[in-house]
C-alpha cells in the first residue's frame, strides 16, 4: 500500500478495485477491534454550540490535547482539523458540526478498547474543562437546529453540505446534528466477509434498537427513539441503506465494487486540495472522462477515498464497519464493540447468528430498518417483537465472548462490557426510553437537563 509520500498507483483493471478491499483479509489471530465514537461539544455558560475559532473553541481544544499527548496535528489548509499518533493507528478528527471523534486503534481485545477510551476521555476532559467545553453522549444534539451549529473548516464538508442540500431531506442534519459509535472488525477471506456482512446487515436494526439514544431534537420529543437512525433514512438513498444485493447468490467483493461504482462521487483530492466532483460517476473517471479532470484516470487512493463516502448500515472497506448505533455513554461505546465482537469473532456464535437471520426476506429487513427508529425494541416482528431477537442476539454475543476467554488483570472476561445491554434486556427499556421518562416526568418537558445528565 502506498505510504504518505508515495504516489498511489493508477487503477489498471477491475481487479484493482476488488483488491483494494480483498487485501484486508487476514487470519483470525490477527483480527482486531476498532472502535470509533463521536461526541457533541457544547458550552454551558451560556448553553450553546462550540465554534472552531476563539480562545475557547475547537481549535484551542485540539491545541491543548496536542500539548498534553504529543500527538501531532493534521491540517486542511492552515486549519488544524485533528490529531494523529505515529505510534498507533488511531486519531482524533472533527465531524462537520464539531462532533469530536476518536478513531480508536485496532485492539486485540475489548479490555484494550476500554483502556484506550478511558485515557482519551481523561485527557479530553482535562483540556476541555478550562475552555468550558463539554462532551455529550447522544445520537442527535437535542436542542440546536442545523443553522445554529458552526461548521468546521474542512473542505470535504463544504462539498458534502452543498450536495446534501439537494439529496434526501435530512442530509445536513446527519452532518451537523448526529453522532454515532462504530465498530470495525476484520474478516479472513471473501467467504468470511460475505457471512459476516450478511449477519451484521440483518442485525443492524437490532443494534439500533438496543442502542437507541436520540429521542430529542429542537428541544422536543421527536416521536423517534433513534432520530439519528431516521435521519440516515432520509439522507441519500444512493449511498445508504440495507444493501439487499448482499444477500443475493454470488455476492462478493466484485459485486460490492459494482455497487460502489454506481454511487455518485463527492470529491477527488489533488495536491492536498479537494476538487468538487459531486454527482459525477467513478465509471467515467475510470475512462478518463471526469469533466473536472479531463483525460486523468483514478488511482487506488481515489477509489479508497470514494469507498469512504458510502454510508450503508454496514460499510465494506478492508474491514467491516458497523454503523447502526447512536452515540451513548462510555459503557455503551464499549458495549457496541462487545456486542459485535461476540457475534462475529467466534465461529459458533457467527453460525448461531446466521441461523437467527438467514430466513428473513429483503422486505422484512427493510421493514425493520424503517420501523425501528420509531418503535425500537417494540417493533413487531414474526408474531412477536424485535425485543426477542435482541435478547437472543445479546445471549449469542455473550457466549461468543465467553469462548474467546480474553481476560483482564482482574481475571474478568470480555462479557463485563455487555452490562449496559443486559440492563436494557432486563428492563425492556433502551436509553432513549429512559430519557423520555425523565423528559415527560421530572424535567417537565424541558430538554436542557440532559446536557448534564448525558455528559460523557
d(CA 199, CA 345): 12
Mean pLDDT of the chain: 96
d(CA 390, CA 428): 10
Q: Which residues of the chain register pLDDT less than 50? A: 1-3
d(CA 221, CA 213): 12
- Alpha carbon 260 to chain centroid, angstroms: 18
CA nearest neighbour of 66 among 49, 101, 91: 91
Handedness of CA 24, 27, 30, 34 (dihedral sign): positive
Query: Which domains are delineated in the chain?
Result: 31-263+310-453 (3.30.590.20)
* pLDDT value of residue 1: 38
266-315 pLDDT, tens digit each: 999 999 999 999 999 999 999 999 999 999 999 999 999 999 999 999 99
Q: Cβ distance 14 to 308 under 8 Å?
A: no
What number of other Cβ atoms are within 10 A of residue 104's Cβ?
25
Cell numbers for 239: 449511498
* pLDDT value of residue 5: 56
Q: Cβ distance 52 to 129 under 8 Å?
A: no
99-141 pLDDT, tens digit each: 999 999 999 999 999 999 999 999 999 999 999 999 999 999 9
d(CA 243, CA 313): 8
* pLDDT value of residue 403: 98
| Strand-strand pairing, 91-94 and 273-276 | unpaired
Q: Which residues pair with 214 in a beta bridge?
A: 226
R_g (Cα) of the chain, nearest Å: 21
* pLDDT value of residue 89: 76
Residues 6+ positions from 59 with CB-CB distance below 8 Å: 52, 53, 79, 80
Q: How far is CA 421 from CA 42, 163, 336, 391, 392, in A?
A: 28, 37, 9, 9, 12
Query: HEC string of the chain?
Result: CCCCCCCCCECCCHHHHHHHHHCCCCCHHHCCEEEEEEEEEEEECCEEECCCCCCCCHHHHHHHHHHHHCCEEEEECCEEEEEECCCCCCEEEECCCCCEEEECCCECCHHHHHHHHHHHHHHHHHHHHHHCCEEECCCECCCCCHHHCCCCCCHHHHHHHHHHCCCCCCHHHHHHHECEEEEEECCCCHHHHHHHHHHHHHHHHHHHHHCCCECEECCEECCCCEHHHHHHHCCCCCCEECCHHHHCCCCCHHHHHHHHHCCCCCEEEECCEEEECCCCCHHHHHCCCCCCCCCCCCEHHHHHHHHCCCEECEEECCCEEEEEEECCCHHHHHHHHHHHHHHHCCHHHHHHHHHHHCCCCHHHHHHHHHHHHHHHHHCEECCEEHHHHHHHHHHHHHHHHHHHCCCCCCCCCHHHHHHHHHHHHHHCCCHHHHHHHHHHCCCCCCCCCHHHHCEC
CA nearest neighbour of 369 among 242, 231, 265: 242
Amino acid at each position: 500500500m502506498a505510504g504518505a509520500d508515495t504516489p498511489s498507483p493508477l487503477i489498471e483493471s477491475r481487479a484493482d478495485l476488488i483488491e483494494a478491499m480483498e487485501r484486508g483479509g487476514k487470519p483470525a489471530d490477527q483480527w482486531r477491534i476498532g472502535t470509533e465514537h463521536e461526541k457533541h461539544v457544547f458550552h454551558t455558560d451560556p448553553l450553546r454550540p462550540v465554534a472552531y475559532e476563539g480562545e475557547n473553541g475547537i481549535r484551542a481544544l485540539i491545541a491543548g490535547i496536542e500539548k498534553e499527548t504529543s500527538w501531532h496535528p493534521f491540517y486542511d489548509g492552515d486549519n488544524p482539523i485533528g490529531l494523529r499518533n505515529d505510534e498507533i493507528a488511531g486519531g482524533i478528527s472533527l465531524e462537520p458540526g464539531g462532533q469530536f471523534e476518536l478513531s480508536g486503534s485496532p485492539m486485540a481485545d475489548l479490555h484494550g478498547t476500554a483502556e484506550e477510551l478511558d485515557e482519551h476521555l481523561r485527557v479530553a476532559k482535562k483540556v476541555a474543562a478550562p475552555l468550558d467545553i463539554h462532551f455529550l453522549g447522544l445520537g442527535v444534539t437535542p436542542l440546536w437546529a442545523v443553522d445554529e451549529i458552526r461548521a468546521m473548516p474542512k473542505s470535504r464538508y463544504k462539498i458534502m453540505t452543498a450536495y446534501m442540500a439537494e439529496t434526501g431531506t435530512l442530509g445536513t442534519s446527519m452532518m451537523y446534528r448526529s453522532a454515532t459509535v462504530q465498530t470495525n472488525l476484520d474478516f479472513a477471506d471473501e467467504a468470511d466477509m460475505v457471512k459476516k456482512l450478511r449477519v451484521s446487515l440483518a442485525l443492524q436494526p437490532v443494534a439500533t434498537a438496543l442502542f437507541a439514544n436520540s429521542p430529542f431534537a429542537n428541544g422536543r420529543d421527536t416521536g423517534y427513539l433513534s432520530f439519528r437512525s431516521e435521519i440516515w433514512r432520509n439522507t441519500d438513498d444512493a449511498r445508504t441503506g440495507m444493501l439487499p444485493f448482499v444477500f443475493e447468490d454470488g455476492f462478493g467483493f466484485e459485486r460490492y465494487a459494482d455497487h460502489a461504482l454506481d454511487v455518485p462521487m463527492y470529491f477527488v483530492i489533488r495536491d492536498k486540495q479537494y476538487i468538487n466532483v459531486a454527482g459525477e460517476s467513478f465509471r467515467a473517471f475510470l475512462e478518463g472522462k471526469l469533466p473536472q479532470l479531463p483525460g486523468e484516470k483514478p488511482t487506488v487512493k481515489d477509489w479508497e477515498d470514494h469507498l469512504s463516502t458510502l454510508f450503508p448500515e454496514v460499510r465494506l472497506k478492508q474491514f467491516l464497519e458497523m454503523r447502526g448505533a447512536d452515540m451513548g455513554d462510555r459503557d455503551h461505546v464499549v458495549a457496541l464493540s462487545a456486542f459485535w465482537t461476540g457475534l462475529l469473532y467466534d465461529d459458533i456464535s457467527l453460525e448461531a447468528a446466521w441461523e437467527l437471520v438467514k430466513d428473513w426476506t429483503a422486505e422484512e429487513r427493510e421493514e425493520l430498518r424503517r420501523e425501528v427508529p420509531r418503535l425500537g425494541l417494540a417493533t413487531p416482528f414474526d408474531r412477536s417483537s424485535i425485543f426477542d431477537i435482541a435478547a437472543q442476539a445479546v445471549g449469542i454475543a455473550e457466549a461468543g465472548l465467553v469462548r474467546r476467554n480474553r481476560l483482564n488483570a482482574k481475571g474478568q472476561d470480555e462479557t463485563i462490557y455487555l452490562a449496559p445491554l443486559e440492563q436494557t434486556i432486563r428492563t425492556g427499556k433502551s436509553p432513549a426510553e429512559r430519557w423520555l421518562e425523565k423528559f415527560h416526568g421530572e424535567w417537565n418537558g424541558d430538554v436542557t437537563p440532559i446536557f448534564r445528565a448525558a455528559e460523557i
